[in-house]
Chain A
Amino acid sequence: MNNCGENNILLFAEGLKKSFAGKTVLDIGELTVRGGESVVLSGENGSGKTTLLKILAGLLRPDSARALAFAGCERYPRGAPHSSYLHQSPYLFSASVRANVEYGLRRAGLPGEKRKQKAEDAMRWAGVLHLASARADRLSGGEQRRAALARIRALSPRLCLLDEPLAHLDEEGIKRAEELIPQLRKGGCAVVTATHKPFADATQQWRLQNGKLICEQ
C-alpha cells in the first residue's frame, strides 16, 4: 500500500462485500480511484449505488473487505475533509444556508475572515447567495441541493462522492452541478458520481449489476 502516493491513488478497495438481511447487495472484486479522476457509477434502482458510496465515504461498514484504503491509510481518516459524500437527498442542518456552508470550514479550523470569504464564493457559485441567511431546511428541494453543493465546493475535499446530484435540479442547477465536477478535478480531487445520465468526460464507467462492479476505463 506504500506506493499509493506515487501512483496518485486516492481510493483502493478489494473484496468488498455487503449484504442486507441475507441478500448480497455488493460483491466487488477491486476498484481504484486516482486523483483528478471522474468516475460515473450507474446501475438500476436498488443495485447498490448508494450503499457503495456510503462504504467508500466511511459511513457504512462493509461486511468484509480484503483492502479498503484511502490515500494509503488503512484506517479510514476522520476529522478532516478527506472525502465528502452528498446524499441522494441532501440533509441541511436546521440553521442558515451560510452556517451550513461554513460548517465544514469551521471543522477544518479556518479563521473567520477566510471562512466567510470561501463560504460566500461557494454560495455565489451555486446561486444561493441571496438565500444566505434563510433557514436551509426550509428551502425547496432544488435550493437545498444547490446549498449542499455549495457546502461541498467550499470544502474542496480530495474525494467527492455524489449520489445522484442532478435530481430535482432545473437546467441552471444542472449546469452548476456539472461544472462542479471539472472544477473539483482541476484541484486534483477525484469525483465519483452515481447517476443515470452519462458524462462525456468520465475517466471510468462503473456499472453495478447483481452486486458485481463492471469497470470500463
Chain B
Amino acid sequence: MEAATATAQALRLLFSGDEELLEIIGVSLSVSLSALALAAPPALFAAYFLACRNFAGRRALLAVLQSLLSFPTVAVGLILYLLLSRRGVLGAWELLFTPAAMALGQAVIVFPILTVFALAALQKNDSRARETALTLGAGSFRAALTEIGEARFGVIAALLTGFGRAVSEVGCALMVGGNIAHYTRNITTAIALETGKGKFAEGIALGIVLVALALAASALLSLAQGAGRRE
C-alpha cells in the first residue's frame, strides 16, 4: 500500500514540475552531456586511428580498450578521487566534489565505449571512401572527418550507448561529486542516498525519469541502427 501511495506521490511530483527534481535532472543531463562532449572528439580520433593505421601494439591497445568496457565505475571514481584530492597529483585543479569532476569521470568511463563502438562502425567503411576524399583534394584531417561522416549512424549509436552508460552510472558520480544538494546531486546519487532517508516519492520519481532516459536512448539507438542498415 505504501509503495502505491509513494508512486502516486511520485507521479504528482513529476507532473507538477517540482523544482528540486528538475534541478537534479538538470545536473544529470548537463554532467553526462558534458562528459560526452569531452570524450567524443578524442574517442572518435582514436577509433579512426585504430581503424586505418596498423601500428605495433594495436592489438594490445584494442584488448585494453575492450577490457575497459566493463571497468567498474566506482573504481574510476576512486582513482579520480585520489588524483583530485588535495594531496593528489591534480589537487591543484580544486575539482573534487564539483560537476566538472563528475563530467571528467564519466568522460573516462564512456571513452572506451565510444572508441570501441565507433571503431566497429568505421571498420565497416569502404577503403575507397578515404581514397576518394584524398583524390578530390581533402587533406588527411578532412578525409578523417569525411570517413567519420560516412559512418555517421554507427557513430550516433556509439554516442547514444555512451550517454546511456554515463547518465545511469552512480559509483563515480558519488565518489567525485559527493551528492551535494543543488550542486552535484544528480539522479543516480539522489536515488541511492536520499531514498534511504525516507524520500520514497522523490526516489521513485527520479527512477522513472532515469528509466525513461535510458529507454529513450535505446529507442533512438535502434532507430539509428535501423537507418544504418537501410543504408
What residues make up the interface of A, taking CB atoms closer than 8 Å to B? 54, 57-59, 78-81, 83-85, 87, 90-91, 93-94, 103-104, 107-108, 137, 151, 155
CA distance A57 to B137 in the complex (A): 11
Query: Which residue in B137, B140, B146, B149 is a CB contact (below 8 Å) of A80?
Result: B137
- B150: which A residues are within 8 A, CB to CB? 93-94
CB distance from A71 to the nearest CB of B (A): 15
CA distance A137 to B135 in the complex (A): 18
Is A85 a contact partner of B137 (Cβ separation < 8 A)? no
CA distance A79 to B126 in the complex (A): 21
Residues A91 and B137 in contact in the complex (CB < 8 Å), given A107-B142, A137-B231: no
Is B132 a contact partner of A108 (Cβ separation < 8 A)? no
CA distance A108 to B142 in the complex (A): 12
Residues A108 and B131 in contact in the complex (CB < 8 Å), given A93-B146, A94-B231: no
Name A's interface SS. Answer: loop
- B192: which A residues are within 8 A, CB to CB? none
Given contacts A78-B139, A85-B135, A91-B132, 14 further A-B contacts (CB under 8 A): A54-B131, A58-B134, A79-B139, A80-B137, A91-B126, A91-B128, A93-B146, A93-B149, A93-B150, A103-B136, A103-B146, A107-B136, A155-B136, A155-B137
- Is B38 interfacial (CB-CB < 8 Å)? no
CA distance A108 to B135 in the complex (A): 12
Is A81 a contact partner of B129 (Cβ separation < 8 A)? no
Residue of B nearest to A80 (CB): B137
CB distance from A65 to the nearest CB of B (A): 19
CA distance A59 to B149 in the complex (A): 21
Residues A108 and B146 in contact in the complex (CB < 8 Å), given A91-B126, A91-B129: no
Give the one of A80, A81, A90, A91 with max B CB within 10 A.
A91
Is A87 a contact partner of B128 (Cβ separation < 8 A)? yes
- B137: which A residues are within 8 A, CB to CB? 79-81, 104, 107-108, 155
Residues A59 and B231 in contact in the complex (CB < 8 Å), given A91-B128, A94-B150, A107-B142: no
Interface residues of B in 127-175 (CB under 8 A from A): 128-129, 131-140, 142, 146, 149-150
